[in-house]
Amino acid sequence: MFDKHLKRTIQFFHKIFKKIAILIINIIVLFISLLIKKDDNMYILGSSLGCRFADNSMYLYIYLNEFTDKRTIWITKDIKIKEHLTNKGLEVYSSREIRGIYYQLKAKYHVVDNGPTDINPFLSIRALKVMLWHGIPIKKLPSFINGKNKILDLIKNSKYYKLFLPGGGDPKNIFLLSTSQKITSQMLPLFPLNNENIIIANYPRNEMNIYYRAYVKPYLSNSIILLLKHVQVLKKEGYFIFGYFPTFRDWGEDIFFSNDKETLKSFLEFLNDCKVVVVTKFHFGVKFRNNELNNLKNEISHFENVILLEEVDDINAILPDLDLLISDYSGVIYDFLWYEKPIILYPYDQKKYEENRGFSLDYDAFNPGKKVYNIFELKSEIEEFLNNPKYIDNYLKNIQEIRKETFDTDISCMQIVEFLEKIY
């Protein structure tokens, strides 16, 4: 009992000291930033804890470079990303190098899609902070304010709490991208924002891949560019291209269609006989939770009709080329609605997922495609798709209705930029 009490006391004071340290750093950075005039024409962007060049931040970065005269700088914590973008002649800096620090202090606009640590959060003080977010939630998300700890909620609601967040965390300077009024109602509990700080627009990744794909391709990694070329060759040879993109599981038990090796082998042989190639990728967060991920990836790599992407790869560039999407509770389903192509939902662990994470919607009523609950049902539904040229007709109305509720517009990047530059 004494040891537990001592441990809790140490943890409490550790949190207190950490918050005091953050406050001191904020004060120091604030004074330094006051010596550097903000540049109204400069955008800083980052993604995925600084470990990826991907997702909505990447696509807005492309738009700003290609269609505006803004100075656009990518901030990363990964040397490979810095080398990749530098070789393409793009402006990129490490979050901790001198020039990276200077430009983060100088830029008026700081744009992220996962969280403040996509760049250096301390250096976002006095900047307009924009959260593009990384996916429309099917699964339940943790609440920013309305949690289970009333004392913590009270502290977070205090007007002084922002002083103890890296970069100040002033709600007046934080702006959130939401795709519709309906989605806004789901997202607001995550952020201490007023409606005036919500930008209603499509996701940049959707707009850029639908309308400006030719501009996107030069920015992609060499492996993704080669993949897109390979996919075009396969399609000309009569292959179907399926995407299998499962969501993140907090408990780290990820499978590739089935955890039974013989069943999986039989299933993939069936797909191969049907001239089906599967492009797949595990969620970026999986590598932090699943200790068996490398072993699982090694097993998958032995199948010739499976293309396994790295977790850091951006899947959005491949979506237009897919003939069918298989997923479970991932936000990629919403993005795929734009292409009006077949979707099969494969919630093989729905009960466990609902008990452990839960859903932000009525998943049983969410029907952009057929739900199947085991690999044998999945095989049967794939056969139905392959044998029925009008398969999509069964779900097209649902797809269009869900898309209409989820996205108020197909426009994104220009709307985001115009919104921000009208603020002050």
Q: What residue spans define the domains of the chain? A: 2-202+410-421, 221-405
The end-to-end CA distance of the chain, in Å, is: 56
Domain range 2-202+410-421, CATH architecture: 3-Layer(aba) Sandwich (3.40)
Which residue carries 């795929």 as its tokens? 336
Element (H, E) at 109: strand 107-112
Q: Do domains 2-202+410-421 and 221-405 have the same CATH topology?
A: yes
Neighbour order of strands in the sheet with 198-200 = 92-94, 71-76, 39-45, 107-112, 128-131, 174-178, 198-200
Per-residue pLDDT at 256 exceeds 80: yes
213-228 residue pLDDT tens? 999 999 999 999 999 9
Q: Per the structure block, which two tokens stand in for 115?
A: 């969280």
14 contact partners, CB below 8 Å, separation of at least 6: none
Identity (one letter) of the amino acid at 184? Answer: T
Contact 207, 410 (CB under 8 A): yes
Q: Which CA distances in Å does 87 have to 47, 80, 218, 227, 229? A: 19, 11, 12, 20, 21
pTM: 0.91
Q: Which CA distances in Å does 211 have to 174, 224, 419? A: 28, 19, 21
Percent of the chain with pLDDT over 70: 90
pLDDT at 144: 37
122 contact partners, CB below 8 Å, separation of at least 6: 25, 26, 29, 166, 167
CA distance 280 to 257: 11
Least trusted range by pLDDT, from 51-60, 157-166, 370-379: 157-166
For the residues 128-147, what does the mean pLDDT come to? 75
221-405 under CATH 3.20.20.150, yes or no: no
Longest dimension (CA), the chain: 70
Q: Rounded mean pLDDT of the chain?
A: 89
pLDDT at 161: 72
Q: Per the structure block, which two tokens stand in for 375?
A: 């690999």
Query: Nearest 5°: phi and psi at 407?
Result: -125, 120
Per-residue pLDDT at 330 exceeds 60: yes
3: exposed, middle or buried (Cβ count in 10 Å: 0-12, 13-18, 19+): exposed
pLDDT at 156: 59
Identity (one letter) of the amino acid at 378? Answer: L
What's the length of the chain?
Answer: 424
Helix axes 2-33, 98-106, angle to 10 degrees: 70
Per-residue pLDDT at 364 exceeds 50: yes
Element (H, E) at 228: helix 222-236
CA distance 295 to 136: 30
